[in-house]
Chains A and B, each alone.
Chain A
């Protein structure tokens, strides 16, 4: 499966950054081969709409799931409409750990109630 992880650094030894729109790096990872492609988040210091911009980036790359923290409502809406599932990694999880937990179905899937 192809997942994208919001990360503090550009490789698998980095930690999951629980801010989706404002994280410094996105790691696009094939969970079987662990092939990892890092993309710097150009929207990290956008004045507004970092979440929607990052969600657009993720959808353009055609991934199956996002691993991050609690993503914001705008990004959530875009990812939901694009059919991408969001999984929440606990605080201080390394990227490697998060991928293992994801494969073992140990990560919580994020669901937001829409009022």
Chain B
């Protein structure tokens, strides 16, 4: 079973929950798909033993073959190519690497070359197999890297995917295809607002979901009320506790500082087993 951990709002405790869930298993696969700011490695401290460069195919125009017909610019959904009288201008950061321009070029003047967007790092943390993607600084194209990270999923191993906050393309890419999505939120108006967006997203993706409320003893009751009305199970609560925040700031996982949470995470896993698909 593959469990994705998402949140809507940022900073609610996705990585705190995802890493401690992995440590409570002590085995399985951990994929940090928050490739813009991966941070699970700070808590899991894996020994990295492999680095793979990841790129996307981008066009390279041979202007000696080009007749400047402009068909490549027309077909580009992201307006990454502009053809002016005797020149083809290409904007690599707008290109999604779909290959449409080289396919449509009647003069066969476009070939595809690799543009590096980031790296995948693989390693182990005890018996946990750890993989994360690290997007190059300033690079806007996260989904192709996330796709490559997710290629390491195999059906025989249970796995956890740590997604980025929000509900945009990188999150959809990370969460899509998982058997269960754990939504980590906080009991505040902001937490609730973004939780609703995240719930809408996972429902569109037809992924069963449940909620973890972090800092559960502050804020208000609105998140709990919303979950009840929507029939979304609240699978775990984490109290507001200074010890958790202090440990977090030192890269110490929740489950290490509060070992009594081993039991909560075991119950969480059992509940997900019941509710997840497949």
Contact of A47 with B84 in the complex, beta carbons under 8 Å: no
Task: Using known A-B contacts A56-B73, A74-B94, A78-B89, determine if residue A49 contacts B83 with beta carbons closer than 8 Å.
Answer: no
Report chain A residues within 8 Å CB of B80: 49, 52
Any A CB within 8 A of the CB of B25: no
How long is the Cα–Cα vector from A78 to B85 in the complex, in angstroms?
12
Residue of B73, B78, B83, B89 touching A48 (CB-CB under 8 A): B78
Report chain A residues within 8 Å CB of B76: 49
Give the contacts of B61-87 with A (CB-CB under 8 A): 73, 76-80, 82-85, 87
Report chain B residues within 8 Å CB of A48: 78-79, 94
Give the contacts of B25-39 with A (CB-CB under 8 A): none
Any A CB within 8 A of the CB of B226: no
Contact of A56 with B78 in the complex, beta carbons under 8 Å: no
Which chain B residue has the least Cβ–Cβ distance from A48?
Answer: B78
How many B residues have CB within 8 A of the partner chain? Answer: 14
Any A CB within 8 A of the CB of B190: no
Any A CB within 8 A of the CB of B91: yes
Any B CB within 8 A of the CB of A44: no
Minimum CB–CB distance from B215 to chain A (whole Å) comes to 35
Contact of B89 with A59 in the complex, beta carbons under 8 Å: no
How long is the Cα–Cα vector from A56 to B77 in the complex, in angstroms?
14
How long is the Cα–Cα vector from A102 to B77 in the complex, in angstroms?
34
Contact of A46 with B84 in the complex, beta carbons under 8 Å: no
Q: Which residues of A contact B (CB under 8 A)?
A: 43, 46-53, 55-56, 59, 74, 77-78, 81-82
A-B contact pairs, 21 of them (CB 8 A): A43-B79, A46-B79, A47-B77, A48-B78, A48-B79, A48-B94, A49-B76, A49-B94, A51-B79, A52-B80, A52-B82, A52-B89, A52-B94, A55-B82, A59-B82, A74-B91, A78-B84, A81-B84, A81-B87, A81-B89, A82-B84
